[in-house]
Structure 1
Amino acid sequence: MKYFPLYLKNTLILCFLTVVGTVFSSSLAAYGFSRIQWRGRNKVFLVALATMMIPFPVVMVPIYCMFRWLGWIGTLRPLWVGSFFAGAFNVFLLRQFFLTIPKDLSDAARIDGCSELRIYWQIMLPLCRPALMVVALFQFMFTWNDFLGPLIYLTDQKTFTLALGLQFFQSQHGGTEWHYLMAASTLVALPVIVLFFFTQKTFIEGISMTGLKG
């Protein structure tokens, strides 16, 4: 498995970009849905939640055609660009957490002359650190284990991720070289296990503090 370091590099790059994009865009959208009053806010939020009921196979072909038109097939871009457009589940999770924060904090900041962006950046984000960690961990684990996305968009072996590289490794050695396959699977699974071991306290805290207030 000589390409394993390259697969690891590609996967780490994807994880970094998707985590940053997801945390930033989802928290910004969640702040708008929970702390800023504007007409039709709840209706737009319900429409956003409704998108969670649309299965990926329904939109898979149109999205693929769009990325092919952009010339991105065979690159990593289709796998991380979408994370900067705020997924509905992450927005819902962070919105529920924002609703548990007393409005007096933001009202006092507005009286002192703080803009909405400054309130979001300097007051709300530090307070919702546990929820942000949950969203970041969810996104990291999804990207790390994602197989369908790389299978659809990646064509060059040098751009493969670990999940796709593991499948390619299995196809190379057939179904009988189980010792090689188990060793490769351990290398792929170990980082996620170690990460969750060191962050489980923050993860559980974020899940328990994210209520269903609405």
Structure 2
Amino acid sequence: MTHTPLLWPSILTPAAEIAEVKSLYALLTGVECSAKGWDAALALYRTSLSPPNSISKDVASRWRWIACNECILELYHLRSRMEKIQAVQLRKCPSLLPWIDSAVTRSARKRLDDHFPDIEALRHATAHKGENEVNPNAHAPEGQQFALTGFREPHRYSTPYLGKMRSLDITNESLIKVVEVVDAYLSAFEPAAEELERQGHLE
């Protein structure tokens, strides 16, 4: 898994951008953390399926739901961070723009949405699960009376939201897609990190 390129202000960074470059680096670190969080959540999911003898079946079952919720939230956080970086933070760091490959960042964001088209709906369904379950008329798929969350297929978490079933595969294949997106996104900032290092970092 790619590590976040070190974007630290240089001796040539405009004074007005010093704090903003540091904030950009923090957000990029968050992008990396989303991939690591997904990896950890998948490991918890796998453990829940084959728990050690010291863990009760009830606790292991709850771990499975916790893992799925975390996978969903990490995807949502990843998408939000990538959007904020491009829509807000990069505008505050104009001195770095010549060394950031915006085509690569756009492509990575598109790949994330292509791989996981239900990110936003899954997040809302997860965050408001209790409310949605007691209001099935708004969320249950057509012809169904209940808004039930569960596993209708192996390792595929499904939940209804606004009349449609939304799903996410809690699998190694999904993790590979997340890591590929994150690696590509972070790679777009490597030239900027190299340029800041060439200029000489501030203390």
- Normalised-by-shorter TM-score class: under 0.3
Q: TM-score, normalised by structure 2?
A: 0.27
Structure of greater relative contact order (alpha carbons < 8 Å, 6+ residues apart):
1
Q: TM-score, normalised by structure 1?
A: 0.26
Higher strand share: 2
